[in-house]
Amino acid sequence: MLMLTDLSDPVNNRYGMDDKKIAHDIRISGLVQGVGFRPFVYRLAHELGLTGTVRNQTDGVRIHIEGLPRGLEGFVAGLRSHCPPAAAIDDVQVVQAEFTGTDQFVIVGSADTSDLVTRISPDLPVCADCLEDMQRNSRRSDYAFTNCTNCGPRFSIVTALPYDRPETTMRSFAMCDDCRREYEDVLDRRFHAQPVACRHCGPQYTLSPDTLAAALDAGRIVAMKGIGGFHLACDATSQVAVEELRARKRRDAKPFAVMFADADTVARHAFVSEAERRLLESNARPIVLLQMRDGEQPIAPAVSSDLHTIGAILPYMPMHHLLFDRLKIPAIVLTSGNLSSEPIVTSNEVATKVLGPIADSLLTHNRDIHNRQDDSVAMVVNGRARPLRRSRGYVPNPVRLPFSADGIVAVGAEQKNTICFGSGNDAILSQHIGDLDDAATLEFFEEVLDRFPRLFRISPRLLVRDRHPDYLSTQIAEQSGLPTVAVGHHHAHIASCMTEHGLSDPVIGVALDGTGFGDDGAVWGGEFMIAELTGYERFAHFDYVRLPGGDLAVEEPWRSGLSYLTDAFGTEGPPSSARSSLAIFRDEVVTPREREAALHALSAGINTPLTSSAGRLFDAVAALCGICTRSHFDAEAPMRLADCLVEGTEEAYPFEVTDGARADDRTPRRVQFDPMIRRIVGDVTAGIPIGLISARFHNTICAVLVDVAREARDERGINRVVLSGGVFQNRYVLARSEERLAAAGFEVFAHEKVPSNDGGIALGQLAVAAARERESP
């Protein structure tokens, strides 16, 4: 019951029962399909004694409502104040309509009326009511596909709009009489729940949860089909099982996610704040990065490759709950079902071929996955959720724009790729696609590029790409036959965060990441901009250093360390007394031949591109400290450097900022780290704890941000700072930067809707192109 005042009662109706009845037509846009919105409208109308109709249309929900004026007033107010928890209303448009005198309120069939589309719901975790049904309802006892209008698959199964059963992968499952009655009963929780099913008529798994639990308890590796694709799983407390999974999956060191039965169990293995608990239990059910603690039954060190963080996730499918009801172990590794770097597997046939050799047991089901999705990843910093990978649970929720981007498609970057599609004022960011240098991932990219416009009825007219000429996304855009426009990598970073927060006036943009093609042809990555959506000026940047070996330096951080040492100490390098303390100069770490070749390349300028990359600076410091000289997965060196950080000091290293960027001199300032590098070498030589060196280094980065931002504010009068780029996935850097900038009087904006890494680039590209179009004559 909605518990609204009965406005059909003359006692509560200030207009009186004899007042003339009127009619309204109402159009509602937003996330209003697949979330029980029409049954809610039906119940609201009946409670208020109103008549009319409600239907799904491709551009939203349409309502014709008739009754007394006060009743209609309460109805419109109730649409927002009492809407279903999974719904999200963007706009309610009300116009007067012709009064027909209908004497009932009914739900009518869906209509395909417009090229504009309403939102499609992300996939939702199984709700408490359905979990109870799985224990008490004989038709759904232990049934692993139980769902209702408040939960279950959505985006993963939809093939076209409007969102009705024939346009989903459930179309091949005919409802039994009992499910049909629930589906057609407006007072039932499963009224018009498109995936509704029971054990008599719905999809089926090939293995029972008892069989699956027994295999996991015995230390075996299993592959199981989920909502957005297959997962590989094993006992997270068994070092042997985890190492075997790594060997079979060809994933040497990148941390695995771990699924726990509930948040209380997570809290026995990791530190969980209230904000982190809310994120774990949210409808998105992402993997949440947490600080580990010693648990009752410790998680195997191989899960996180000896890092002190863990990616924790809670059950979100009925099968997950059935499994944990039977498991003896407290947690399982749950990682994407694929070979390293390839997209998550979705089909039973491919799973048998690709995952069969990896897994001891293969669990499939007979409901197709139309839209593949990895699990999303997020963390909490300063009490707010920060997405790191945006996929299942968030996609395809759009970001609203203050202007139209209709028909604009932004193809993103090369790594952590996503694509962004403009539909009216909605920016629809795709699920995580991945790194395009893998052939299978590139095929997935092309699948999304083709599928989203058809699904959301977008007619692409302009493609937006990165300025890097060698990105595969750039090349595909240029070969499409459509007009293209290029947007700078770091401008797109800043624009994506601006768009999240609805900013249009100039800001001080700080973009810190590993790689981005610069205006001067160098590799940028430590950038301070005076930016707005339509353009930017480079105000300052980390000073250039050379990268011996070019892209090879990304995999071998010692190369960046050697370059910074050469800049700080000259061609002779640090004094001999320091060399014995530096891992770079140990022959068992870097061979003499490698070191000599790199030094020769630096002196001769051979294959040593210039870079201002913040990522390479983090690599260099990690290598100088001996933490990571060769990386086995993306950003390993910065992650290990942050992992060993010991909090509690405000000390920082010295740095220098050159003059420039004044009113009469637009040459950007340069942030020089030679003094810091010399001090770090001294600390390493003196045996200062690496955790303290790491803290001082991280504090230095935060101090640089504040100092440069102050200079920009003093000269340009801008007080808003926008933070973007992969470096702000570093929990310490983001938290300290926000706190110190705020303490210095700045308004600070960082990502809360899309990732700060290259997974958010496409949103910025789209916003820049749309803003430029809007301003062009």
pLDDT at 12 over 70: no
Q: Locate tokens 């054990």: which residue?
A: 199
Listed in sequence order, the residues at least 6 apart from 287 whose beta carbon sits closer than 8 Å to its beta carbon are 257, 311, 312, 313, 375, 376, 377, 378, 389
Lowest-confidence region among 49-58, 61-70, 657-666: 657-666
- What pLDDT band is residue 341 in, cutting at 50, 70 and 90? confident
Structure tokens given for 676: 């810091």
Rounded to whole angstroms, how far apart are CA atoms 343 and 335? 12
For residue 718, the model assigns a pLDDT of 98
Are 618 and 612 in contact by the 8 Å Cβ rule? The answer is no
**What Å distances lie between residue 262 and 185, 346, 527, 664, CA to CA?**
33, 26, 42, 61
DSSP for 723-771, please give it. EESGGGGSHHHHHHHHHHHHHTT-EEE--SSS-SSGGGHHHHHHHHHHH
pLDDT at 8: 41
Residue 20 to residue 33: CA distance in whole angstroms = 33
The answer to whether the CB of 636 falls within 8 A of the CB of 628 is yes
Task: Report which of 276, 377, 306, 342 is spatially closest to residue 757, judged by C-alpha positions.
Answer: 377
Residue range 527-546: mean pLDDT, rounded: 98
What pLDDT, on the 0 to 100 scale, is given for residue 659? 79
CA–CA distance, 280 with 263 (Å, rounded to integer): 7
364 — pLDDT class (breaks 50, 70, 90):
very high
Instruction: Please compute the mean of the pLDDT values over residues 150-159 and round it to a whole number.
Output: 96
Residue 643 has pLDDT above 90, yes or no: yes
pLDDT at 731 over 80: yes
Separation of alpha carbons 728 and 674, rounded Å: 23
The one-letter code for the residue type at 567 is D
Find the mean pLDDT for residues 675-704. Answer: 98
477-505 pLDDT, tens digit each: 999 999 999 999 999 999 999 999 999 99
- Residue 85 has a pLDDT of 82
Q: 457-482: buried (b, 16+ CB within 10 Å) or exposed (e) per residue?
A: bbebebbbbbbbeebbbbebbeeeee
SS3 state at 598: helix
pLDDT in tens, 293-322: 976 679 999 999 999 999 999 999 999 999
User: Rounded mean pLDDT of 383-401?
Assistant: 97
Query: Cβ(269)–Cβ(299) under 8 Å?
Result: yes
Tell me how far apart the alpha carbons of residues 257 and 335 are, in angstroms, rounded to a whole number: 6
Residues in the chain: 777
According to DSSP, residue 517 is labeled E
The two tokens of residue 137 are 């309802």
- pLDDT of 3 reads 42
Give the model confidence (pLDDT) of 262-278 as tens digits.
Answer: 999 999 999 999 999 99
Distance from C-alpha of 161 to C-alpha of 57, rounded to nearest angstrom:
9
Contact 720, 508 (CB under 8 A): yes
H/E stretch holding 607 reads none
Q: Which of 468, 381, 405 has its CA nearest to residue 723?
A: 381
Q: Are 99 and 21 in contact (CB under 8 A)?
A: yes
Residue 546, beta-bridge partner list: 610
* Bridge partners, 259 (sequence order): 313, 332
Chain centroid to CA 344: how far?
16
Q: What is the pLDDT of residue 108?
A: 87
How does residue 7 score in pLDDT terms, banded at 50, 70 and 90?
very low
**Predicted pLDDT at 14:** 39
Angle between helices 614-624 and 636-643 (to 10 degrees): 60
Structure-token pair, residue 345: 């597997």
Check: CB of residue 527 under 8 Å from CB of residue 612. yes
Parallel/antiparallel/unpaired status of strands 669-672 and 535-542: parallel
**Is residue 330 a contact partner of residue 261, using CB atoms and an 8 Å limit?**
yes
What's the pLDDT tens digit per position in 510-532? 999 999 999 999 999 999 999 99
Sign of CA dihedral 437, 439, 440, 445: positive
Q: Are the CB atoms for 276 and 380 separated by under 8 Å? A: yes
> What is residue 571's three-state secondary structure?
coil
Task: Give the three-state DSSP class for 378.
Answer: strand
Checking if the pLDDT of 774 tops 80, the result is: yes
DSSP for 415-470, please give it.
SSB--EEEETTEEEEPPP-B-TTSHHHHHHHHHHHHHHHHHTT----EEEEES-TT
Q: Closest Cα to residue 165, out of 139, 196, 141, 136?
A: 196
Task: State the DSSP string of 65-122.
Answer: EEE-HHHHHHHHHHHHHT--TT-EEEEEEEEE--------EEE---B---S--PPPPP
- Cα dihedral 153→159→162→164 (10° resolution): -50
Answer whether residue 4 shows pLDDT above 60.
Answer: no
d(CA 729, CA 739): 16
Residue 644: CB atoms within 10 Å: 18
